[in-house]
DNA sequence: GATGAATGAGCTTTCATTCAT
DNA sequence: AATGAATGAAAGCTCATTCAT
């Protein structure tokens, strides 16, 4: 294996480990030594891959957003109704929240919560472009096809991001009486009703 | 003025000042000396009013939630349609986000983001009961009157909380091309469509 | 009751309460507000009785030493053998350690341990003169009567103070397999054997 | 020199320096910055060697007790009478109190006086086992050989520990009219008389 | 590339003491 | 005499980052 490849692999393993720790313990409660020690790596060496803790956090949100965007891109390629696509997207999101909670948790607990960390390097929403772009594609397609009402994109995007994120937050707070999957149908319906033409 | 009153006033002024600083700079970037010095008060004396930084943060969220709940309680008392009430609530929320942004920001940036801080003393959502309760009253009333579809409360609550919070977050990120008030009509309509019978 | 009497009573109640708290929690772990609050008294007022925490600690050791000395003075007045007097003294000490442990504990944990506190005002052993004096009387009497060997007073005094204090310390550390009273006979005998003519 | 060796050396130099400062100024009057600055070392780095001030204090008492135990172990190996061994032990203790007073002082002023510090990690007397064990060996041997009277071990141990410690305490208080060595013969004799068969 | 000892500013919290009332 | 809010210096400890090896 080439050196460049090895480096890329290690880079990714750092991202994965840091993602895990940040999402569980929060950004400020996770230290660089914590991350290095879980990776059995020296702190000094970790700095060879990411030049600061903030930069590392930024790379993680890009990585996560990309991964989520990827899944939605698949949905966008399906030949089904907008209503079904909404159901799919909600399903993907909640399933991920259940099976890979660290990604969604990272979004809520690290990205959304520590703006200082992301203010230099992730202005606007460039670091979550992967996710936004796919929602935008979905929305534009569905408006074009006449299935969804035409309205300001952010009114629609806020609905997706806020509603889904909010539900996962409530789950995390242990206030939902049901499992998160229980809400998929209700919430898909609500979103569809909100946006339909 | 009585001593007890004076103390209560000072207590409230600490809450106001800390709310401001926390919401602008985040919980971890705001230090107790920062708060004390803005109040022209000694650090030690501040601890006579709140026994720790965490406790202070918890008292602020209760205070904020109560203030928001109070406004919604007024709406609940109005003799208007559910559709109009939704419009009112969205209006209140966005107006507050514009005029007293620190309260909404606090919710998003401090409460939602630093669970460790609130885990002892604000389990579940007891510290935001003031807000939740009023949304619950609104929802129950409107379902009873046949205006809104009967569904799990949390599906509806997540919509309010997540959607409204999400929009304010986007505003804070400076990604919204329009002023927050611009979205009041769109979002009210979306929420009503999502929930109507 | 005269004002002076009232003040003396309050002064003593402060000493008693502080003695209790210092002996249980140690000097540095006990705060002036702790003492005041247990007395239902303001800190400011407490300073009307004792001008500093150190002064208070010094007054307590005098009080304690006097109380212990008083009991030994009674023994010195008895018409019994030196051997019996030693037994009495050991008995008094261990009984006090059991029934009023705060006095002995104060000696060990506060006086003996925080020399800085006592260096200004209790130089030498002036603050424990009450206790020392009586041991000295006992020793001189018993040497005069030919029952105990004549030797340097401090060799004898160190034996009493160190041995008895050491045993109580061991008891406090929970390393003694038996109750403290179990050792009265052994230790009296050892002391008598050590000192007898 | 190997890194591990260097680290061990530094660890020991921290112990020595802290021992000195604690024994002279007391535990609470000695700060971590004090220790670090005397070592020309940063505060943070000191925490790489000892995870808290309490832990440091505990390691010191183990170190000290071991050092004292070592010396008594040599005496236990000698082929001399119990009476002579007692004289040796007293000699060792008083000589150490004179030449390396910090060790004995630490015992009296830090270990004996700040139980809170040692309650987690040094329960019972595990941290002074090095010293106790050797006294126990001496006592058992001498009872076996018929030189000392058989009695509860703690009655004998308290005599050694309390008497010797008490004398050094008196010395520290400057109440002894003579040099500490002056008392070696008297005290050895008293101890032997107390314990002999 | 890899190591981890070292740095030191900065944090939250405590508490003896004062003093206006 | 009595109150207790107020002071502020100082404590123990943390941790992102650097750098000699």
Closest-CA distance, B28 to chain A, in angstroms, reads: 8
CB < 7 A contacts with chain F (nucleic strand): A 28-33, 43-44, 47, 52-54; B 3, 7, 10, 41-45, 47-49; C 7, 10, 41-45, 47-48; D 28, 30-33, 43-44, 47, 51-54
Structure tokens at C28: 């540095």
- The DSSP annotation for C93-118 comes to HHHHHHHSHHHHHIIIIIITT-HHHH
CB pairs < 8 Å spanning C and D: 137
Nucleotide with C1' nearest the C33 CA: E15
Question: Do residue B163 and residue A158 have CB atoms under 8 angstroms apart?
Answer: yes
pTM: 0.86
For A151, which of B108, B156, B186 is closest by C-beta distance? Answer: B186
Tens digit of each residue's pLDDT (9 = 90 or more) over A61-73 = 999 999 999 999 9
Give the pLDDT confidence score for residue D50 in this predicted structure: 94
Gap between the Cα atoms of A145 and A82, Å rounded: 9
Nucleotide with C1' nearest the A45 CA: E2
Gap between the Cα atoms of C147 and A181, Å rounded: 92
Question: Do residue C113 and residue D114 have CB atoms under 8 angstroms apart?
Answer: yes
CB pairs < 8 Å spanning A and B: 139
CB A108 within 8 A of CB A168: yes
Give the pLDDT confidence score for residue D1 in this predicted structure: 60
Nucleotide with C1' nearest the D28 CA: F11
CB C151 within 8 A of CB D186: yes
CB C180 within 8 A of CB C94: yes
Q: In which band, very low, low, confident or very high, does the pLDDT at C145 lie, cut at 50, 70 and 90?
A: very high
Is A31 an 8 Å CB contact of chain B?
Answer: no
Can you state the angle between helices D129-144 and D82-99, rounded to 10 degrees? 160
Nucleotide with C1' nearest the D30 CA: F11
Give the pLDDT confidence score for residue C194 in this predicted structure: 97
| Long-range CB pairs of C79-86, under 8 A, 24+ apart, other chains included | C81/C147, C82/C138, C82/C141, C82/C142, C82/C145, C82/C147, C82/C148, C82/C192, C82/C195, C82/C196, C83/C147, C83/C188, C83/C192, C83/C196, C85/C138, C85/C142, C86/C188, C86/C191, C86/C192, C86/C195
Decide: CB of C41 under 7 A of nucleic strand E: no
Share of chain C above pLDDT 70, in %: 99
Q: Which residues contact D74 (CB under 8 A, 6 or more apart)?
A: none
Tell me the sheet residues that pair with D148: D196
Decide: CB of A44 under 7 A of nucleic strand E: yes
Residues in C touching D196 (Cβ below 8 Å): 193
Gap between the Cα atoms of C127 and C107, Å rounded: 11
How high is the mean pLDDT of chain D? 92
Element (H, E) at C69: helix C53-77
- Report DSSP state, residue D106: I
For B162, which of A154, A165, A172 is closest by C-beta distance? Answer: A165
User: Domains (ranges, CATH) in chain B?
Assistant: 3-195 (1.10.357.10)
CB B56 within 8 A of CB B14: yes
How high is the mean pLDDT of chain A? 92
Q: Which residues of chain A have pLDDT under 50?
A: none
- Report DSSP state, residue D109: I
Gap between the Cα atoms of C73 and A159, Å rounded: 87
Decide: CB of D7 under 7 A of nucleic strand E: yes
Structure tokens at A96: 């991920």
The candidate with the shortest Cα–Cα distance to B54, out of B104, B120, B152, B140, is B120
Per the structure, the residue whose CA is closest to nucleotide F9 at C1' is B44
Residues in C touching D181 (Cβ below 8 Å): none
Q: Which residues contact A82 (CB under 8 A, 6 or more apart)?
A: A138, A141, A142, A145, A147, A148, A192, A196
Q: Which chains touch A (3 or more CB pairs under 8 A)?
A: B
Tens digit of each residue's pLDDT (9 = 90 or more) over D125-161 = 899 999 999 999 999 999 999 999 999 999 999 999 9
Residues in B touching A165 (Cβ below 8 Å): 162, 166
Question: Do residue A158 and residue B172 have CB atoms under 8 angstroms apart?
Answer: no
The residue among D115 and B8 whose pLDDT is bigger is B8
Tens digit of each residue's pLDDT (9 = 90 or more) over A115-155 = 888 888 888 889 999 999 999 999 999 999 999 999 999 99
Question: Do residue A159 and residue B163 have CB atoms under 8 angstroms apart?
Answer: yes
CB A162 within 8 A of CB B162: yes
Q: Given a cut of 80, is residue D2 above it in pLDDT?
A: no
- Report DSSP state, residue A2: -
Q: Which of A67-76, A136-145, C80-89, D6-15 has the lowest mean pLDDT?
A: D6-15
Burial class (CB in 10 A: 0-12, 13-18, 19+), D14: buried
The candidate with the shortest Cα–Cα distance to D108, out of D194, D24, D42, D191, is D24
Q: What SS3 state is found at B109?
A: helix
- Report DSSP state, residue D50: -
Can you state the angle between helices C153-172 and C129-144, rounded to 10 degrees? 130
| Residue the block writes with tokens 């208080």 | D173
Closest-CA distance, A97 to chain B, in angstroms, reads: 15
Gap between the Cα atoms of D197 and D83, Å rounded: 11
Is D26 an 8 Å CB contact of chain C?
Answer: yes
- The DSSP annotation for B123-186 comes to -TTGGGHHHHHHHHHHHHHHHHTTSB----HHHHHHHHHHHHHHHHHHHHTT--SS-GGGGHHH
Give the pLDDT confidence score for residue A25 in this predicted structure: 87
Residue range B153-181: mean pLDDT, rounded: 93
SS3 readout for A144-193: HCCCECCCCHHHHHHHHHHHHHHHHHHHHCCCCCCCHHHHHHHHHHHHHH
Tens digit of each residue's pLDDT (9 = 90 or more) over D77-110 = 999 999 999 999 999 999 999 999 999 989 888 8
Q: Which residues contact D155 (CB under 8 A, 6 or more apart)?
A: C183, C186, C187, C190
Gap between the Cα atoms of D97 and D119, Å rounded: 26
Give the pLDDT confidence score for residue A1 in this predicted structure: 64
Residue range C63-88: mean pLDDT, rounded: 95
Q: Which residues contact C159 (CB under 8 A, 6 or more apart)?
A: C191, C194, C195, D163, D166, D187, D190
Cα angle A119, A124, A130 (rounded to 5 degrees) comes to 110
Structure tokens at D195: 């314990």
Question: Do residue A155 and residue B187 have CB atoms under 8 angstroms apart?
Answer: yes
Gap between the Cα atoms of D35 and D19, Å rounded: 10
Gap between the Cα atoms of C61 and D123, Å rounded: 28
Give the pLDDT confidence score for residue B69 in this predicted structure: 95
Closest-CA distance, C150 to chain D, in angstroms, reads: 11
Q: Given a cut of 90, is residue C155 above it in pLDDT?
A: yes
Please, what is the end-to-end C-alpha distance for chain A in angstroms? 54
Closest-CA distance, B161 to chain A, in angstroms, reads: 7
Nucleotide with C1' nearest the A36 CA: E4
Whole-number CA gyration radius for chain D: 18
Residue range C131-155: mean pLDDT, rounded: 96
Tens digit of each residue's pLDDT (9 = 90 or more) over C110-137 = 888 787 888 888 887 899 999 999 999 9
Query: Which residue does chain B place closest to A188, by CA atoms?
Result: B194
Q: Given a cut of 80, is residue B1 above it in pLDDT?
A: no
Helices (H), chain A: 3-25, 32-38, 43-49, 53-77, 82-99, 101-105, 115-119, 129-144, 153-172, 184-195
Interface residue of D118, D136, D155 to substitute, partner C, most C CBs within 10 Å: D155
Q: What SS3 state is found at A196?
A: strand
Residue range C80-105: mean pLDDT, rounded: 94
Q: What SS3 state is found at D148?
A: strand
């Amino acid at each position: 294996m080439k050196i460049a490849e090895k480096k890329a692999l290690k880079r990714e393993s750092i991202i994965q480990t840091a993602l895990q720790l940040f999402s569980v313990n929060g950004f400020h409660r996770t230290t660089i030594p914590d991350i290095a020690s879980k990776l059995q790596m020296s702190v000094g060496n970790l700095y060879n891959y990411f030049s600061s803790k903030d930069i590392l956090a930024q790379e993680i949100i890009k990585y996560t957003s990309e991964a989520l965007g990827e899944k939605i891109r698949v949905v966008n390629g399906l030949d089904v109704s907008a209503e079904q696509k909404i159901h799919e997207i909600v399903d993907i999101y909640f399933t991920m929240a259940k099976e890979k909670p660290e990604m969604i948790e990272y979004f809520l607990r690290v990205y959304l919560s520590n703006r200082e960390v992301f203010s230099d390097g992730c202005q606007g929403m460039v670091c979550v472009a992967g996710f936004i772009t796919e929602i935008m594609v979905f929305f534009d397609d569905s408006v074009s096809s006449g299935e969804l009402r035409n309205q300001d994109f952010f009114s629609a995007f806020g609905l997706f991001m806020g509603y889904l994120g909010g539900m996962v937050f409530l789950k995390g707070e242990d206030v939902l009486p049901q499992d998160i999957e229980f809400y998929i149908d209700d919430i898909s319906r609500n979103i569809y009703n909100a946006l339909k033409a």
